[in-house]
Amino acid sequence: MFDNVPQEPIVAITAEAIKDMFDEVAKHPNIETAWGLWGLTLKNVPEFALILGVIKPSENDIERGYANTEFGGPSQETAVRWYQSNWEEIRKQLPVNNTYNVDPANIEFSYLFKGHSHHSLEVYRLSDRDRRSLMEAVDTGLKIAVSPLANVLEPGHVRISKPKSQYSFVPRIYNNPVGVLWVSRYTKIQFKFYYYSKGLKDSGIYDLMLVDPKIISDMKGLPPIPPPGWHFKNEADFQEQLRHMKNYGCEIQVLYREVKKDGPPIEIQFVVKHPKWGDKILMITTSYDYPHTAPEFNVLRGGRGTNQEHFAHMRSLRHGNLWNFGEDFIDAIFRMEARGML
């Protein structure tokens, strides 16, 4: 059927990504859901994709229904930018002679499309609309697009609230036809992995392929994986911080920058201005694991020189007297104003 395929497609996926897909589907056993996929591709191996992680849907970016799901939006875009930026920093530090024997120059970050579920409909294949969407993703720029389709086969009790570190979960492939993975923990869920690529399209193949994913349980041989940032891991807190500052009249820009120069993960930085501060600009820098790592506050004067000169004129402020665990940025802003720092 696929005699013209330039190379047999290879899709690998981490056990952690399978856990996250399983949990997302099991949380919504009676309604459809969806999630994003990200990972790595290789410049010199055109039909290879490694799925490293799942981008879980923000409740602001998904509309679940019995027969369809609308998915995508700012939160997915934020997560993609985060992982891509962190991966670029990781790649800079990878030695050429590494344990996985891959030249870092050949490794590319890739958004690998999305997975979703059909179990409420008991439809065990992609719909025509889903197939078109997968192929259009390649038409509009993706080198490789992978879409796992999930169906709940044996509904049961799923201990979603139990931390992953407290249970043993080993994905197993049962006696399955090509492209089908059955995963079981209290509930059995079937995943079918659909695949399409620019290579298939350029070879004149206009149909999707089912591929058998290689399960990777040992992460030692893989490049480092960036941790999720707090701004989409704890999206409600992130949006609340922005809302407080905007309601106070602040103008805010969010940046992803390597501020501390000590390697990934990069920092999430807020550039905050307010009309009554004049030319003063507040820089709030947070680590990926905020609030466990305290934010750092810096004030600079705008309106003179280049951005580099702006940062050279920063005045560092000790966070100990400005912010306490459990408080928001706005609390520190009020203290700084009261002390004449802004």
For the chain, the domains span 10-221, 230-338
**Is the Cβ–Cβ distance between 215 and 171 less than 8 Å?**
yes
- Distance between CA atoms of residues 59 and 63, nearest Å: 8
Give the pLDDT of residue 313: 47
Specify the DSSP class assigned to residue 249: T
Specify the DSSP class assigned to residue 275: G
Lowest-confidence region among 92-106, 127-141, 242-256, 302-316: 302-316
CA within 13 Å, CB half, 20: 19
- Distance between CA atoms of residues 129 and 163, nearest Å: 36
Angle made by CA atoms 281, 284, 288, in degrees to the nearest 5: 155
pLDDT in tens, 126-163: 888 889 999 999 999 999 999 999 988 766 544 444 44
Tokens of 184: 């079981």
- Distance between CA atoms of residues 263 and 287, nearest Å: 12
Q: What is the mean pLDDT of the chain?
A: 82
Tokens of 186: 């209290």
**Is the Cβ–Cβ distance between 298 and 285 less than 8 Å?**
yes
pLDDT in tens, 267-312: 999 999 999 999 999 999 999 999 999 898 989 886 554 444 344 4
Give the pLDDT of residue 316: 52
Give the pLDDT of residue 222: 76
**Is the Cβ–Cβ distance between 41 and 48 less than 8 Å?**
yes
Phi, psi angle pair for 220, to nearest 5°: -65, -30
- Distance between CA atoms of residues 238 and 269, nearest Å: 12
CATH fold for domain 10-221? Cytidine Deaminase; domain 2 (3.40.140)
- Distance between CA atoms of residues 128 and 136, nearest Å: 12
Closest CA to 208 of 42, 34, 1: 1
Higher pLDDT, 268 or 180: 268
Higher pLDDT, 179 or 48: 48
Regarding pTM above 0.85, the answer is no
| pLDDT band for position 261 (cuts 50, 70, 90) | confident
